[in-house]
Structure 1
Amino acid sequence: MVSSSVVFHPSAYLLKSSDFSDQSETAADYFSRSNRRGSIVSDTDDGQGLNSLEEKSEKSHSEIFSRPSSRNSISVTPLSGNSSRRGSGDGSILVDPDASLSELRDIYDLKDQIHDVEGRYMQGLKELKDSLAEVEEKYKKAMVSNAQLDNEKNNLVYQVDTLKDVIEEKEEQIAEFYRENEEKSKELERQKHTCNVLQHKLDELKEGLRQRDELIEENQRMQENIDSITKEVFDLQETINWKDKKIGALERQKDYFDCIKNERDELREELADLKETMKRGEKHGLVIIPDGTPNGDVNHESVVGAITVVSQEAAQVLESAGEGPLDIRLRKLAGEKEELLSQVRKLKMQLEEERQKYSKSDGMNPDIIGLENGSDLQLIELQRDANRQISEYKFKLSKAEQDITTLEQNIGRLEGQVARYKNAAENAEKVEDELKAEKRKLQRELRTALDKIEEMEMTNSHLMKRLEKMKANRTALLSQQ
């Protein structure tokens, strides 16, 4: 029955072997492609590919294992039909022996082919089982790796969300820092403007201090001038006092000289009277005065028997000489004359001494000489000059006192200005110190804010790089799918 089935249906077995070889080749290609695909696809694609691969492998197995049975059934049915036809025909038709031998050869050839096909089929089935085991192992590994990748993906998504939150917080902080930086910059600009205004005020105060120093120096110079003027005034006062004393001394000396002059005039008059009297006496023989008698010394000798005739004035002079003889009276008058002449010589010597003293002191020789000569006009002129100098010195003194009063007022005003400028300078220095401290504080805060901003920018750039890297990985995975 096997032989009849083999003889009449060889094409069915050939189709069966070719179909099996085609199925084995398609399965091998499919598994090789699935292996290559599983090495590069993502987790989702691996799961879908493995599911489709499993379905296809099951389908191919069902087809492979179902096709031989159907083909056998198909091949058996025609063989049975043929056998029935042959059995029915055995009784009616005789079989050719050559044809039967060729059919037997064909049958044996078909058997050999069937054995080869069955061997290849079993070998392909074994290979399919091995590849299926490998695919299942790969599928398990792919599932594990897919689970790991899914976990890593979830972790990365969580990290991305966390980093997004951190980036948003950092952006908010950076915006806040920028806002604070702008406020600090505005405050710094205001402080700079205030500092410039205060610097301008400070320059003005420095200029005021410079003017104050100049005024102080001018005040010192004026004080020195005042001291020199005061000293000059004192010198002028001393000079005026000395002039007053000198004028008083000159007035006293003038009075003394007037007295001396009056006495001299009186003595001259008396001397002239005496000379006149003596001349009259000589004429009348009363007194003989030799020509060579020095210093007016007269040797009075009585002339006996001479007649003595005197005038009334001479008689009065002789009576003033006292009682006694005429020669005694004349001797008395000569002694008085000698005394008067000695007093005149003494007064001349004193006058010469005074003249030398005053000539040594202030060179007033012409005036004293004029006084010695008895010039009242020169004395009056000297007094006028002295009075004029005194009036000039008094005018200078009053003017100097006015200048001193004005300078004292200026000194008081300048001292007040100096005090005000000093207070303003101290206040400006305090404000400048406060502004410098505030400026340093703002600069420290600005540096701190800039450092924080730089740190945030670095963190932001680092996070952006990580985010870009994650996006690149994600796009690569999506492109591979």
Structure 2
Amino acid sequence: MARLAARRQARAEAREIRMKELEKQQKEIDDNADRHYDMYSTGTGGGGGGGGGGGGSGGGDVVNRAAFRVALGSHRAPSHSVSSASYHSSRRSSEDSSEDGMVSIRDMRHELKELEDKFRKSMVHNAQLDNEKSALTYQVELLKDKIEDLEESLTLLQREYRDKCRDFENLKRLSTQIKDELEYCKAQLLEKEELIKEYGLVVVENEVEVDIGNGEKETRIKRSLVTQETAQVLSSLGSGSLDVRLKRFLEDKNDLLDQIRRLTIELEEERNKHSKGDRGGTQHSASNSSAYTNGPDESLDAHKDASKQLADYRFKTQKYEQEIATLQANVARLDGQVLRFKTAAEEAEAREDDLKIEKRKLQRELREAQSKLDELETTNSHLQKRLDKLKTAKSTLLKEL
């Protein structure tokens, strides 16, 4: 806008200078016409005394001078035509009578008035044409300024359009890259599901309390990968989180260990009783040998009962030992499974959390890229419309010029 105002001021100054030059030229033309009229009047004064006496007033001289200016400035008549006219006029004035001279003066005045009217009309018309020319020149300058501004705007818009196109291509490449990464993550998830099915693993839900701030806790469900046997064991332990189920499992394990220790103690007691019974049996047989004659049937029955009881104790001892060994093997196996399952669950949870975070990140980047892509497409279409409008306006202005 400052540049446009400076151009307008420069054009106004140039217009004033042109008007001054035109006024100066018009003044020079008037001065030359007056000088030529004075020379003409001096040259024709001797031959035209009668004519001069008839119309020698100051008003006639002014009228004649104006007529001479019009004839010299507007019609540009040659000098010999003026001399010939003055010669014929002086000759006619010397030959004709005074009445004819008056008639000729009236005719000349009438013609002079007509010439003055024509001169005024021509001057008014020239002034109008000059004003129209100035207005049209000013409009042309304004249109040129508008064309320059439009060209600058067009250049700026083209530069912005190129920048937007470059950003659009970059975002398009980024979107393609994100889509490829998303496909890769989907393939990894499918491979993970296939591996889970292949190894017979089962997804188990685990309720975890998470601190969300301000002393409040929120229960969230996390998933863990375990084998089918472990899943059956966990399902047999009831509902609840994985930690609660593992606590129940440890309690059952401790109960089994207590039972094993109790059975071991009972076994030791039975062994001690058995050893004491053997010693008592030998003493009893020695005492009964002396008194065998008193009651052989009773001692035989007692010996049979003791042997039977000893066989029962031995059988129970072997059975308890087998149960203890089985329980210890089960405990060791379950301990190993618990450790393995805990490790696998932790690894699966960590991997699942990482995959979820990466998936959310990729989805967020994809949404941002899609929104930027839509925004760039909208901006591109808007700039294209503006560019078409500018081209149309430029072609219209060029046609008008």
TM-score by length of 2: 0.53
- Give the aligned residue type for 2:167: Q
Q: Quick check: 2:253–2:331 contact (8 Å CA) kept in 1?
A: no
Q: CA offset at residue 146 of structure 1?
A: 0.8
- 1:284 maps to which residue? none
1:132 corresponding residue in structure 2: 126
Unaligned stretches of 5+ residues in structure 2? 1-69, 86-99, 205-223, 235-245
Q: Tell me if 1:145 matches 2:139.
A: yes
Contact 2:202 2:225 in 1 (8 A): yes
User: 1:137-176 alignment to 2 at 5 Å?
Assistant: 137-176=131-170
Instruction: Pick from 340, 343, 347 the counterpart of residue 420 of structure 1.
Output: 340
Please state how far the C-alpha of 1:132 moved relative to its aligned partner. Answer: 1.7
Which of 334, 352, 355 is equivalent to 1:432? 352
Paired with 1:123 and 1:159, the residues of 2 have a C-alpha distance of 53
2:52 is aligned to: none
Which of 363, 366, 384 aligns to 2:304? It is: 384
Corresponding position of 1:469: 389
Distance 2:355 2:346 in 1: 14
CA distance in 2 between partners of 1:150 and 1:164 (Å) = 21
- The Cα shift of 1:155 comes to 2.8
The structure with more helix, counted as a fraction of residues: 1
Cα deviation for residue 186 of structure 1 reads 1.7
Counterpart pick for 1:242 among 273, 296, 303: 273
Which protein has the larger Cα radius of gyration, Structure 1 or Structure 2?
A: 1
Task: Find the counterpart in structure 1 of residue 362 from structure 2.
Answer: 442
Distance 1:438 1:219 in 2: 36
CA distance 1:388–1:128, change in 2 (3 Å): farther
| Of 323, 335, 341, the match for 1:403 | 323
Q: Name the SS of the counterpart of 1:177 in structure 2.
A: helix
Matches within 5 A, 1:261-276: none
Give secondary structure in 2 for the equivalent of 1:208: strand
* Residue identity opposite 2:143 in structure 1: L
Task: Report deviation, 1:131.
Answer: 2.3
Please list the CA deviations of residues 327-384 of structure 1 after superposition, one character each: whole Å capped at 9, or x if unmatched.
xxxxxxxxxxxxxxxxxxxxxxxxxxxxxxxxxxxxxxxxxxxxxxx3x334423422
1:98-247 to structure 2, matched below 5 A, reads 119=113, 122-195=116-189, 197-198=191-192, 201=196, 204=203, 206-208=224-226, 211-212=229-230, 214=233, 221=252, 224-225=255-256, 227-228=258-259, 231-232=262-263, 234-239=265-270, 241-242=272-273, 245-246=276-277
**TM-score, structure 1 as length reference:** 0.45
Higher relative contact order (CA 8 A, sep 6+): 1
State the distance in 2 between where 1:203 and 1:479 align: 79
CA distance in 2, matches of 1:136, 1:203: 99
Tell me: CA distance 1:126–1:258, structure 2 relative to 1, closer, same or farther (3 Å).
same
Residues 225 and 345 of structure 2 are in contact (CA less than 8 Å); yes or no, is this contact kept in structure 1?
Answer: no
Shift of 1:234: 3.6
Counterparts in 2 of 1:404 and 1:236: CA distance versus 1, 3 Å: closer
Q: Distance in 2 between matches of 1:382 and 1:122?
A: 178
The question of whether the paired residues in 2 share the 8 Å contact of 1:184 and 1:446 is answered with yes
Question: 1:167·1:460 contact (CA, 8 Å) conserved in 2?
Answer: yes
Post-superposition CA distance 1:84-120 (Å, at most 9, x none): xxxxxxxxxxxxxxxxxxxx9xxx9xx9999878755
Change (3 A) 1:452 1:219: closer
Q: What corresponds to 1:13 in structure 2?
A: none
Amino acid at match of 2:300: I
SS in 1 for 2:226: helix
- 1:258 positional shift: 5.9
- Aligned position for 1:460: 380
Once the two structures are superposed, residues 59-83 of structure 1 have per-residue CA deviations (whole angstroms, 9 ceiling, x without a partner) of: xx99xx77x99xx9xxx9xxxxxxx
Instruction: From the superposition, tell whether residues 120 and 183 of structure 1 become closer, same or farther in structure 2 (CA, over 3 Å).
Output: farther
Asked whether the 8 Å contact 1:240–1:390 carries over to 2, the reply is: no
Q: CA deviation at 1:196?
A: 5.4
- CA positional deviation for 1:177: 1.0
Quote the Cα distance in structure 2 between the aligned partners of 1:220 and 1:392: 32
Paired residues of 1:198 and 1:432 also in contact (CA < 8 A): no
Query: Structure 2: how far apart are the matches of 1:380 and 1:466?
Result: 125
Q: Which amino acid aligns with 2:312?
A: E
Question: Residues 202 and 227 of structure 2 are in contact (CA less than 8 Å); yes or no, is this contact kept in structure 1?
Answer: no
Q: What is the CA–CA distance in structure 2 between the aligned matches of 1:174 and 1:153, rounded to whole Å?
A: 30
Once the two structures are overlaid, the 10-residue window that deviates more, 386-395 or 188-197, is: 188-197
- State whether residues 182 and 362 of structure 2, in contact with CA within 8 Å, keep that contact through their aligned partners in structure 1: yes
Q: What amino acid is the match of 1:151? A: D
Give distance in 1, aligned partners of 2:366 and 2:107. 95
Contact kept? 2:202, 2:228, Cα under 8 Å: no
Partner Cα separation in structure 1 for residue 185 and residue 256 of structure 2: 48
Q: Given the superposition, is the C-alpha separation of residues 234 and 118 from structure 1 closer, same or farther in structure 2, using an over 3 Å criterion?
A: same
Answer whether contact 1:198 1:428 (CA < 8 A) is retained: no
Give distance in 2, aligned partners of 1:126 and 1:184: 84
Aligned amino acid, residue 171 of structure 1 = C
Identity of aligned residues (%): 27
SS at match of 2:188: helix
Q: Partners in 1 of 2:367 and 2:169 — Cα distance?
A: 17
Q: 1:470 Cα deviation (Å)?
A: 2.0
The unaligned stretches of length 5 or more in structure 1 are 1-60, 77-103, 266-373
Contact 1:247–1:383 (8 Å) recurs in 2 = no
1:425 and 1:140 map into 2 onto residues whose CA distance is 92
Assess if the C-alpha contact under 8 Å between 1:208 and 1:421 holds in 2.
yes
Paired with 1:132 and 1:411, the residues of 2 have a C-alpha distance of 123
Distance 1:397 1:222, change over 3 A: farther
